[in-house]
Structure 1
């Protein structure tokens, strides 16, 4: 079963293994299989589910809502997001304007078939909307009871500080950030994590297995496995490319004996590694089949000793990306349409 952690400086607990449905629901996975996987997550003690309006252009929220139908609402936590283009992708169907936020939360709630979400997240930073407008809209969403808390995704340390200050003025809580984080992608450690610790903000990290590379299934000099993320032309192949070189893949293979010594599979080792960071509240995992979750949840509650952590660093430090400047490149400078 899964352990639980507080999300930021709040009283909300979330399952430290959180189910995310990016690139699976309404995309890679048929709806029946997606629903069975969500039900397996619930059976394993995963109570927290993360989605976004932009996933499969709103269809992923519909699938998640259908999968959670009939569950005791108070026993689960639902997260969704707003920013990327949705619907017909007109000029106001994107960004963090007041118009888009207030319209988007209503659409998300309808698709998820719920009156509220636990966490509503800014999927990126919107450079074209005044931050005051964005945070006021989020404050109104909270006051209307449509979201209990507010979070963000891939914000820089400075953006987190500015957002948290406005949230405090407006008397609501900014409690989370959702960045990419793994033993191969460590760019949040230098600035984002210290700022978050100072502000009472937790990380909900995506891609803890580096798009599956840390599973060890991609071998240097070998063709990629059929049906893997690297072959997914609906988006998955683009995100994995930065890790698909022989130097990285060879370094990852050095983790096999480390995982075996720790009594873990390589995916479990990767997930357990991110959960060793005390500022991480949850690791987002996806699954295309229910049995994949059986493996992932075994990373919950695992403590990696100092020798294991050192061995991981020794294997991956030559190829891991640690430059904090990468955190400034994620949010588009202009809205995507």
Structure 2
């Protein structure tokens, strides 16, 4: 086997040391990246060194994504290998599953990313982890069209030829692993999955995932899209009220006010999404033509949906919210995958 196991660690516990000691009994090199744990944990990393583990350190905590890229770069430059398997050092991955990942990598083509995928049972998975994984899987499906039950797994297998692309993927914290799944697929790589054991010790209380900051980093594209959509909706309503006041309430004038306000809000929405949400600075004309087609379809389906739903519900406002709320997620998926891809 020509494989390396790469494990980023921040503030290791005694359980971490025990897990690593068992892992050293296996016949593969182990590289640990100390993600700026500080002087208080220096002795524990020295224990890992005495076990024969290569420990890479830097003084300031930067996040899991930074630690992984630090390890990838070191291995690329100083320790060439065929495969790299990344794992977590908190005991969430069994040694048997790590060994199975390494064995599977030996038979996979060099353009395949291998993911150790867990199955989440609502009864046995911590509530935060269960719903967090469901949400990120949903967002990933919207973004890529790929159904993947476990987007947050840290047990992954890479061929060494992927390292240059892995180093170019943005993100220094937990969002880096989600970005891997998006960018590597976009770069032409495919994915294979290996079912693994689902392990959560002590209700996952030792996780370094920061609920607010790290959730924002992972879900940022959808949040930015929501802000863009809400601000565009505000422009739509305000411009409609202004135009309706100027042109009067004749049905034809209301139609003119509706179209005019939607065009203004649509242009505003296009610029926001292109520059800040999906960051597509090139191919403006091609993106604009796709956006206009999507915008026209949204306008049509919004009108048809509200008209049909109004026969079942008395409130036009509720009909509008239900229809446009559904179109919001459809529009995000289409813009991410086709308009600004």
Q: TM-score, normalised by structure 2?
A: 0.24
For CA contacts below 8 A with separation 6 or more, give which structure has more relative contact order: 1
Structure with more helix by fraction: 2
